[in-house]
Amino acid sequence: MDEQKISILLVDDKQENLLALEGILADPDYNLVKTLSGLGALELILEHEFALILLDVHMPVMDGFETAKYIKKREKSRHIPIIFLTAVSIDEKFIFEGYAAGAVDYIIKPFDPYILKSKVSVFVELYRQSRQLEHVNKKLQETMKDLEVAYKELESFTYSVSHDLRAPLRAMSSFSQRLLDRYSGSMDEEGRDYLARISGAAQRMGELIEGLLTLSRATRAEIRRESVDLSSLAERIAKDLGRTHPERNVRFTIAEGLTVQGDPGLLRSVMENLLGNAWKFTSMREQAHIEFGAAPQSDGKRAYFVRDNGIGFNMAHATKLFGVFERLHPEKPFPGTGIGLATVQRIVQRHGGRAWAEASENRGATFYFTLE
């Protein structure tokens, strides 16, 4: 059987009827398969895939209704549309029986060949479309699987590379330190400067690697679902930040009672990153103001936000910020590795939410996130 063609099963106990049907439906795209009995039809259905069945009602041994019931019982064939053809069973009762047996149409002989042909072509088109959809779906699923595998590989690659890079880096740091300690007397100013730069660069690289490992852990960690009080978490982080720079003048406004379901460790990391950024990027303000709160969204969900009156940024970069190592502001006076917001985004996404930012240059920034 030519598998490229669309197969249609014609079932009638009279050879001349089959030939007539074949004449009407002849089409180079169709593969018309004929059989003289219900049993013959059931056998053929096991072996081949059909887009449509034209089934005579009145047949000896197993009539059309019975045949249809068997066809509908089998997993492999229950989806195949059936058009009943009959000259005798025109009583309404039979018509209902036909539909109950799983018919999609009921055509009474003598029929108009043109109408039969168009009906068949409608079902063939439906079949083609569903096959196409199946094909696209399968492809999509395969792509998703490939993506998932690639993503996991990339993740473990990042993790092991970052991990393995630490040992040679430690050697670089400690030997340049030893060089400085022991031989700095026999070096000129320039030599000492070079060594200090090597050691500084190694330290920076160490920070970047630590950042990557943190990000990787946030991606791989199992998510626990517990009740987490974001408000008291924010209070504690604010207090800790205050201790790091007691001379700064920063006012925190923290909404009370904002409790969510999520992973305590990962959500702490979200809050630390966002509040830490707000703290850092308000460092040039005489009077800094940092706010944590919740805002209802148009879809009824709640977004949480951290707002500051700091340096802000140009909205043209608003999505870039969440990329790994993406930084908009200079290392001095705003030190960092550019991994914080990437971590925030992964954690929030793993909780089924999303993160975004609103800001304008020199007029503060607001970072929002939802959790499901």
Ligand X SMILES: Nc1ncnc2c1ncn2[C@@H]1O[C@H](COP(=O)(O)OP(=O)(O)OP(=O)(O)O)[C@@H](O)[C@H]1O
Residue 101 backbone dihedrals phi, psi, to 5 degrees: -80, -5
Residue whose CB is less far from Mg ion, 89 or 277: 277
- Residue 6 CB contacts under 8 Å (≥ 6 apart), including other chains: 29, 30, 31, 51, 124, 127, 128
Of 209-217, 242-250, 254-262, 274-282: span binding Mg ion (CB under 5 A) = 274-282
Q: Which two tokens stand for residue 154?
A: 């990339």
Q: What is the x/- site pattern for Mg ion, positions 337-366, by CB under 5 A?
A: ---x--------------------------
H-type alpha helices, 74-112: 92-100
Instruction: Provide the minimum distance between the beta carbon of 326 and Mg ion in the complex, in angstroms, as a whole number.
Output: 11
Q: Which is nearer to ligand X, 10 or 342 (CB)?
A: 342
Q: Which amino acid, 369? A: F
DSSP calls for 166-191: HHHHHHHHHHHHHHHHHHGGGS-HHH
Which position among 31, 199, 277, 282 is part of the footprint of Mg ion (CB under 5 A)?
A: 277
Retrieve residue 94's tokens.
């039979």
Q: Which of residues 338-357 bind ligand X (CB under 6 A)?
A: 338-342
Report in angstroms how near the CB of residue 255 gets to ligand X at its nearest: 18
Residue nearest to Mg ion (CB): 340
Q: Which is nearer to ligand X, 109 or 289 (CB)?
A: 289
Max CA distance (Å), the chain: 114
Strands 288-296 and 302-308: antiparallel
Under the binding rule (CB under 6 A), the answer on residue 206 touching ligand X is no
CB closer to Mg ion, 36 vs 339: 339
Window 255 to 314, contacts with ligand X (CB under 6 A): 273, 277-278, 281, 308, 310-313
Pairing state of beta strands 6-11 and 250-254? unpaired
Provide, rounded to whole angstroms, the least separation between the CB of residue 215 and ligand X: 9
Residues 6+ apart with CB under 8 A from 370: 297, 301, 302, 303, 304, 348, 353, 354
Binding span for Mg ion by CB under 5 A among 91-99, 169-177, 263-271, 277-285: 277-285
Tell me how far, at minimum, the Cβ of 253 lies from ligand X, in Å: 15
Tokens encoding 29: 């795209």
Residue 145 or 363 having the CB closest to ligand X = 363
| Euclidean distance between CA atoms 78 and 101, whole angstroms | 11
Q: Where are the beta strands (DSSP E) in the chain?
A: 6-11, 30-35, 52-56, 82-86, 103-108, 226-229, 250-254, 259-262, 288-296, 302-308, 355-359, 365-369
119 interface partner picked from Mg ion, ligand X, none, CB below 5 to 8 A per type: none
Write the interaction track for ligand X spanning residues 118-137; mark x where CB under 6 A is met and - where it is not: --------------------
For ligand X, the binding residue among 165, 166, 336, 356 (CB under 6 A) is: 336
Q: Total residues at the site for ligand X (CB under 6 A)? A: 23
Of 174-182, 218-226, 238-246, 319-327, the window that binds ligand X (rule: CB under 6 A) is: 319-327
Amino acid of residue 129: Q
Q: Which residues bind Mg ion (CB under 5 A)?
A: 277, 340
Q: Which residues bind ligand X (CB under 6 A)?
A: 211, 273, 277-278, 281, 308, 310-313, 321, 326-329, 336-342, 365
